[in-house]
Structure 1
């Protein structure tokens, strides 16, 4: 990778430049679904049909936060800082806010009443991999949760990854995530807040196979 490239990590604003952010997020998300289709619960065919309003709604939902890694060439840095529009978005991860006790996701871990967050859709563009960007995006999520409020002192961060995605599993293991159990695509979509993508008939092996791995990390607050 060009040594003249810097990386900027930030959380997408829900109020500023939403249309522009939605367009850039859409392009990155669709690229992710094409580049790594086996890594996601959703599909390119589903999301390419989303309207502009749906993409903006995804970013402005009160229950979700989206974090971005942008690649910035140093010669253009001054212009980009002035415009507030980084040149290229090359990585992203989404964080789903703490679930309430009545949420169906609670069944993912019965008996656990702690503050629980769900991380999903981690992706970095193939040409930018191997530089620790995925790790940095995960750290942005952990830092956000840690500073979200003072209590409780421990918050649980969960994710569901395809069990065969060994590179992702190893990344999460290195970050301190622990294996909890295997789970289905139905459970993954519900936990990720994407139950609307589920068909009425969920009997196919695609939905019932234990193809996912639930992992968990404890975020400690000072």
Structure 2
């Protein structure tokens, strides 16, 4: 980071109103001075509305958790965050029915949190099945007919697929059965959705890595 540049967490705060910006900046610097449960709710609410923010909010959450731990040795923020994630998870079908964009933002956010939050340097076990359940929902036929959801599924598997497989390989096998079935029975898949599904199948088969040949093929196809 160049001297004088804002930290990435602070840069992302610019999308909030002035009062909320101040709340989040204080949470990052002096977490004991603010209502951390309110902070958790603000971050979740904004993540469900702003898909760009939902992709990066995990970094901010991690920074607040670290700051709170150093200052007070407590986990009020993490507890509030996980409670909200659970509430939204339990109402995920209603969320999807109400707002496809909000649902995609939620899946992006929970995967982002799973990617960043650690307990003893390991991913949080409490999030493994909820994340899997969300990805399974994205792999259902009615979701595979929507490019937004296919794109979300593939992006999140690129991000956390390898970690998830280490935590529960059997569920990843089951998820990829659904994905392969969806690819092989393309009754309502767009050509882009088919391409994305094939790419993620090959990505996992290559040990969660993209070979140079695959990268050239898929990304030239997508750009075309």
Short-chain TM bin: under 0.3
More strand per residue = 1
More helix per residue = 2
User: TM-score w.r.t. structure 1 length?
Assistant: 0.27
User: TM-score w.r.t. structure 2 length?
Assistant: 0.27
Flag the structure with more relative contact order, 1 or 2, with Cα contacts below 8 A and sequence separation at least 6.
Answer: 1
